[in-house]
Structure 1
Amino acid sequence: LWMKFSHVLGMIMSKIILTVLWIVGFGTYGICLKVIYLFKKEKKTDTYWLDTEQDFENSMKYQF
């Protein structure tokens, strides 16, 4: 009786512990990435597109 009870209790507790560790691990990682992104982003720009000058004749010359 006690062995069955301990087996069921172990299955339940391991799932709870793994869930908590997963939420804490990925939650803090996600929050850190969002904070880093907010500090990295430039606040006074109208657009984040970069203007590039491309020479289309030379880019089509050797395609392969």
Structure 2
Amino acid sequence: MKYWSIYKSSLSMLIAAFALSACTPTVKIDPPDKPIVINLNVKIEHEIKIKVDKELDSLIENDELF
């Protein structure tokens, strides 16, 4: 009779361990049936405008600035 409490607590811990291990979530990743199509209709336009003073322009042309 004195081992009954030890037996009862070990049995309850074993049952709890089995119950918790049965509740583990599973993640399943399936590839799609159809291929993934990405349409990129992008039009990129950029415009660079540089305005330089005549003096600065002449310095750059004569390599006096650098």
Which TM-score tier does this pair reach, normalised by the shorter chain? 0.3 to 0.5
Which one has the bigger helix percentage? 1
Q: Which has the higher contact order (CA 8 A, sep 6+)?
A: 2
| TM score, norm. by length of structure 2 | 0.42
The structure that has the greater radius of gyration is 2
Scaled by the length of structure 1, the TM-score of the pair is 0.43
